Chain A
Amino acid sequence: MDFRFTPEQEAFREEFVSWLNKNLPDDWDPSRYRNYDSQEEWGRAYSDFQGRLFDGGYTAMHYPKEYGGQGKTLMEEVIVSQALFSTCPELRIPGVVTHGMAVPTIFTCGNEEQKREFLPKIMDGTHIWCQGFSEPDAGSDMANVSTRAVRENDHYIINGQKVWTSFAHLADYCILIVRTDPTVAKHKGLTYFLLDMKSRGVEVRPMTQITGEAEFNELFFDDVRVPVEMRVGEEGQGWQIAITTLMFERVLGDAIMGAAYETNIQKMIELASQTKRSGRPVIHDPIFRQQLAQASIEVMVLKYHGLRSLSNQLKSKIPGPEGSIGKLLWSEPNQRITEAAIGMQGPNSQILGGSPWTIQDGYWQYSFLRSKGNTIEAGSSEILRNIIGERVLGLPKDVSRAKRD
């Protein structure tokens, strides 16, 4: 057992961090949590920076070279991703769905043409992808998708609606799950597609969220024609493809969150040292000290649990059951951590960015509100606990779901 990087891994990390410090965009200010006023500028900043990473040889470390990767292992990818998310998460966020979901799906389940066509253009920053899974009546009950695809010669005609589609307004392509067979059991009638967002009949309507921004969208499909070549796998395999690809990238996602939240703890220590209550820094207040400690302990748990899951996956090549809890270990603590950071600020916590009394650029106000989505997106806490209860602990399904499946 060894929790440290090997000397080679450590040397690689140092090499990358030094490259990163020289290659951050000139106009990017690390003291701001959001440098770009419009979503379009944000998307462009992501694409430009992704291009730099690609040119530097630091993108998709664990994917083969022919698809735009570097032919190394997941370990190198973790090292690069952790450094990126602890330094400049803003420059990565518009690509989270692209790299976390579209890439592994296309790589694992796509055919050779699809891999060669789409992966390199993701790696060099040309394309951003979005994910069309959720629908108004298919949230946690993802198998309830009702958007229809009907085969017509060498095309499918798609009609329906998706919702909560992150970054669809910036996306060039979409990974999409639709119903091709309404006559079989719900999760058996689904098929996976790659969709060109410029196709006729695709409409994107931004949705304003709790933070006042519009990261999410509604997607409407009106007789959208998708060539058969854009289908991933066979008809009816959509559910299986969605589930398996999610599993494989999970440890990477958890490792990324661990690194990002370590930065948050540093920020919280600064916050507690600078913010005053009764004339003295709140870091001297025993109650806030306890909260700061609890926040940092939960981040340590996330980090070391992440390393354990990662090691197990590197060794056994398949995700172990301990990997199923990673998302709960970042989403729920993040709500507690941001809540504590807001609490430390007292009434100043009500002030957003742009005032002389703004604290840390309004980062915690944004993070507190944004964290409310953490326990819903990418598998709600309730769905994750169903999965753990049923697949890991072997508890029975509830009667209504057991009947349907």
Chain B
Amino acid sequence: MSSVSLSVYLVLALILFCIGLYGALTKRNTVIVLICIELMLNAVNINLVAFAKYGAHPGITGQIFALFTITVAAAEAAVGLAALMALYRNRKTVHIDEIDSLKH
């Protein structure tokens, strides 16, 4: 029985997820919002890998899921930044509170 148990990893992942969530909701630069979302996905990956080791059915599956999550996150970051660049070309801003033409 090792001293580092499952719940410690889950709490750490929870803290990182909350930091990412708060950043994504309050930051003004869209690039930072994107990278906060990456941080949230990383917290989820910690959960997956922790359950792969300490879960009810330990096995390699959790690590494979983490690999797929990383793949999808990289694709999401690529498309998100490309969309941001198209937006910057049209609006000349990356500040998320100035992109509000649907409000007016």
**Real complex partners, A and B?**
no
